Amino acid sequence: MELKKVALNDVHEALGAKMVPFAGYNMPVRYSSDIEEHKTVREAVGIFDVSHMGEFMVKGPKALDLIQRVTSNDASKLVPGKIQYTCLPNEEGGIVDDLLVYQMAENEYMLVVNASNIEKDWNWISKFNTEGAELENISDSMSLFAVQGPKTADALQSLTSLDLHNMTYYTFEKGEFAGVPNVIVSATGYTGAGGFEIYVPNENAKAVWDKIMEAGKAFGIKPIGLGARDTLRLEMGFCLYGNDISDTTSPLEAGLGWVTKFNKEFTNSQNLKAQKEAGVSRKLVGFEMVEQGIPRAHYEIANAEGETIGEVTSGTQSPMLSKGIGLGYVKTEFAGPGSEVYIKIRNKAVKANVVKLPFYKA
């Protein structure tokens, strides 16, 4: 299968990015080094091209009904300008995808889904669209830049009359940005470093990227690849679909009970409600290595007696904490903060402690 290319593919190659296949796209994994890029985002400002993400528009009088039917969170709480994190439960107790829901206007929403799941999510949502909500997949015509870091608002403010400094987390505004009208500027991100996500049509992507790079120059802006995106999200304990959540993990096991609202009916809600009442047998936890070692996905997690109690789903060496950190599912009795667990790294049991998330507190 030929890899898809984002609109700015040639820009990334010209910047010297190492390009790798990711979710069916040719994507920049790094431009310099993961650690340098990671620290740029934590301390200053960086720009990610995440145009591989998917966007669906849902419109019409039946739009909210459809969203309520397929998502676990309560989208009736949204108002125009607000965003909600949620998931699409499947019928077997797992998760089709995690996503963002933007309320654009009355009876108009935008769903932002993971790149690897665009077709799967589209088919899933369409299956439940029995009342005639208007669905449009605009993924291939949109570019998305995540500009992240503590200096982001200062770096971008000269490009727009929108008041970036006073936009609150999980809200967005539409307006002129970098000379382009009707740009969605969203106070969201996957780094925990603050910043904005900028949605622009592909035809304006190059001009907007160039203006962001120019405006950010005085603030130390650098392009950032997917390598640092992964270590940044992991320091915050944010789930990655395909690693920490999947078709076989329940939202309750994954710690997503806060986006699973039982004041409405949604896909598999009865079974999930029963699971909540009975209690889950395993939970997704964060752990920090006490002894030297870097945890990786699929490593076994054991107790002090050497019995397997779970499996690592994501792991890395934290650039900010200078120690191994990871996420993984463990039997519920080992899920409390302070629990001592052992990660099997190359057949050696290496000691770790379960901790409260996030790992990194700015």
Cα end-to-end distance, the chain, whole Å:
41
- Each residue of 166-202: pLDDT tens digit? 999 999 999 999 999 999 999 999 999 999 999 999 9
The token pair at 56 is 């669906």
The pTM of this model reads 0.98
State the Cα–Cα distance between residues 190 and 237, nearest whole angstrom.
10
pLDDT for position 77: 98
Confidence check: pLDDT of 1 > 90: no
The residue type found at 336 is G
Q: Is the pLDDT at 125 greater than 90, yes or no?
A: yes
Residue 54 has pLDDT above 90, yes or no: yes
Burial-class residue 7 by CB neighbours within 10 Å (0-12, 13-18, 19+).
Answer: buried
CB 329 within 8 A of CB 320: no
Distance (Å, whole) CA 355 – CA 360: 11
CA distance 78 to 99: 15
What is the tens place of the pLDDT at every residue in 307-340?
999 999 999 999 999 999 999 999 999 999 999 9
How many whole angstroms separate alpha carbon 353 and alpha carbon 270? 34
Query: What pLDDT score was predicted for residue 16?
Result: 98
User: How would you label 44-80 residue by residue, b for 16+ Cβ within 10 Å and e otherwise?
Assistant: bbbbbbbbbbbbbbbbeebbbbbbbbbbbbbbeebee
> What single string gives the DSSP state of each residue in 284-299?
EEEEEESSS----TT-
Q: Coil, strand or helix: which one is 114?
A: coil
Is the bond into 358 cis (omega within 30 degrees of 0)? yes
State pLDDT tens for residues 80-94. Answer: 999 999 999 999 999
Comparing CA positions, the residue from 36, 29, 17, 30 lying closest to residue 319 is 36
Amino acid making up residue 79? V
Distance, in Å, from the CA atom of 312 to the CA atom of 350, rounded to the nearest integer, reads: 13
Neighbours of 360 (CB within 10 A): 19
**Distance set, CA 133 to CA 52, 86, 127, 346 (Å):** 25, 19, 12, 52
Q: Are 250 and 190 in contact (CB under 8 A)?
A: no
Q: What is the per-residue pLDDT across 222-232, written as a single tens digit (0 to 9) for each? A: 999 999 999 99
Q: Dump strand ranges (E) for 11-82.
A: 18-22, 25-30, 46-49, 54-59
Residue 362's pLDDT band, with cuts at 50, 70 and 90, is confident
Can you say whether the dihedral through the CA atoms of 138, 141, 146, 151 is positive or negative?
negative
pLDDT, average across residues 36-57: 98
pLDDT at 146: 99
* Total H helices, total E strands in the chain: 8, 20
Report how far residue 163's alpha carbon sits from residue 161's, in angstroms, rounded to the nearest whole number. 6
Apex 83 CA angle, 150 and 100, nearest 5: 95
Residue 239 contacts residue 98 (beta carbons within 8 Å): yes
62 pLDDT above the threshold of 90: yes
